[in-house]
Amino acid sequence: MNIDSTQQLSILLFGGIVKVTEKEYIGKVKTGKNKDQDRFRNVTKEVYIKGLGLTPQDRWKTAKEGIYQTNEKIIGVIAKANKGDASEICKLILKIRGLSKAISTYYNSTEELTYDCDNCVHQQYVQVFLPTGRLSCTGINAQNQPKPPSKVTQHFVSRYDNGCITIVDYRALEPRVEAENSQDPQLIDDVNNDRDPHCKHLALAEHKSYDEVVELVKSSSVWDSKRSKIKGFTFSNQYLASNYTMSQNSGLSIIEIEQIVEARKLEYPKLYQWHENNEKEVEAKGFYRNMLGREFYFKKYPGKYHYQKPSYSKNEISNYKSQGTGWDVAGIMIGRFWREKALHNRDKYVMINTIHDNLMLDCREEYLEQAKVDLKMLENWKEVCYELFKYKWIVNIKVDIKYGKSWYDCF
pLDDT higher than threshold 80 for residue 239: no
* CB 150 within 8 Å of CB 102: yes
In a shared domain, residues 195 and 152: no
d(CA 116, CA 224): 47
- Does residue 93 sit in the same domain as residue 157? no
In this structure, is residue 90 part of a structural domain? Answer: yes
- Averaged pLDDT score across all residues of the chain: 91
Alpha-carbon torsion 279, 285, 286, 292, what sign? negative
More confident site: 136 or 219: 219
For residues 81 and 158, membership in a common domain is answered with no
Residue 3 DSSP label: T
Could you tell me if 166 and 237 lie in one domain? no
114 part of a folded domain: no
Q: What is the pLDDT of residue 329?
A: 95
Q: What is the DSSP letter of 392?
A: -
> Which phi and psi angles does 271 have, rounded to 5°?
-65, -45
State residue 349's pLDDT score: 98
**Average pLDDT, stretch 14-26?**
90
Q: How many domains does the chain fold into? A: 3
340 in a domain, yes or no?
A: yes
CA distances from residue 256 to 32, 253, 259 in whole angstroms, order as listed:
77, 5, 5
Task: Read off φ and ψ for residue 23, nearest 5 degrees.
Answer: -95, 130
Assign 302 to helix, strand or coil. Answer: coil
Residue 139 pLDDT exceeds 80: no
Please check whether residue 380 lies inside any domain of the structure: yes
**Neighbouring residues of 212: CB distance < 8 A, sequence distance ≥ 6:** 203
In a shared domain, residues 11 and 103: yes
Position 137 pLDDT exceeds 90: no
Residue 277 located in a structural domain = no
φ/ψ bin of 152: left (φ > 0), alpha (ψ from -120 to 50), beta (otherwise): alpha
Extract the runs of DSSP E, i.e. beta strands, from 224-294: 287-289
Q: What is the distance between the alpha carbons of residues 80 and 63, in angstroms, rounded to a whole number? A: 26
Which pLDDT tens digit goes with each residue over 84-111? 888 999 999 999 998 888 888 888 888 8
What interhelical angle do 381-389 and 314-340 show, nearest 10? 100
What mean pLDDT is predicted for residues 242-252? 84
Q: Which domain, by its residues, includes 58?
A: 6-109
Q: Which range is least confidently modeled, 47-61, 116-130, 261-275, 368-382?
A: 116-130
- Residue from 238, 316, 231, 232 nearest 282 by CA: 316
Asked if residue 207 is part of any domain, the answer here is yes
Q: List, for residues 285-316, the tens digit of each pLDDT value.
A: 999 889 999 998 999 999 888 888 899 988 88
In Å, what is the CA distance from 183 to each residue of 170, 238, 274, 278? 20, 17, 9, 14
Task: Measure the CA–CA gap between 111 and 109, rounded to whole angstroms.
Answer: 5
Name 108's Cβ contacts closer than 8 Å, sequence gap at least 6: none
Domain boundary residue, one of 222, 251, 267: 267
Dihedral angle of Cα 94, 98, 101, 103, to the nearest 10 degrees: -140
Q: What is the spatial distance between Cα 241 and Cα 243, in angstroms, rounded to a whole number?
A: 7
Give the end of a domain, one of 218, 235, 267.
Answer: 267
Per-residue model confidence (pLDDT) at position 158: 94
Q: Are residues 90 and 66 in the same domain?
A: yes
Question: For position 372, which CATH number holds?
Answer: 3.30.70.370
- Is 103 in the same domain as 21? yes
What does the pLDDT read at residue 60? 93
Helix (H) / strand (E) element for 232: namely helix 221-238
Q: What is the model's pLDDT at position 113?
A: 87
Within a domain: 279: no
pLDDT average, residue stretch 244-267: 89
Sign of torsion over alpha carbons 177, 240, 354, 146: positive
* Per-residue pLDDT at 409 exceeds 80: yes
Q: Tell which of 246, 267, 288 closes a domain.
A: 267
Provide CB contacts within 8 A for 119, sequence distance 6+: 159
Q: What is the pLDDT of residues 177-232, one digit of tens each?
A: 999 999 999 999 999 999 999 999 999 999 999 999 999 999 999 999 999 989 98
Per residue in 22-53, pLDDT (tens digit) is 898 999 988 888 888 999 999 998 889 988 98
Specify the pLDDT at position 327.
92
Quickly count: other Cβ atoms within 10 Å of residue 408's Cβ.
Answer: 20
255 and 194: one domain?
Answer: yes
Phi-psi map region of 53: left, alpha, beta (phi>0 left; psi -120 to 50 alpha): left
Same domain (yes/no): 128, 216: no
Residue 142 to residue 156: CA distance in whole angstroms: 11
If asked whether residues 11 and 100 sit together in one domain, one would say: yes
CA distances (Å), origin 300, targets 50, 218, 283, 355: 47, 47, 10, 29
**What residues contact 319, with CB distance under 8 A and at least 6 apart?**
132, 239, 240
Any idea what DSSP says for residue 301?
B
* Beta bridge pairs of residue 246: none
Is the same domain home to 199 and 226?
yes
Residue 300 falls inside a structural domain: no
For the chain, the farthest-separated pair of C-alpha atoms sits apart, in whole angstroms, at 99
128 and 46 in a single domain? The answer is no
The three-class DSSP label of residue 145 is coil
First to last CA, the chain: 36
Contact 159, 167 (CB under 8 A): no
What percentage of residues in the chain have a pLDDT greater than 90? 59
pLDDT at 133 (0 to 100):
81
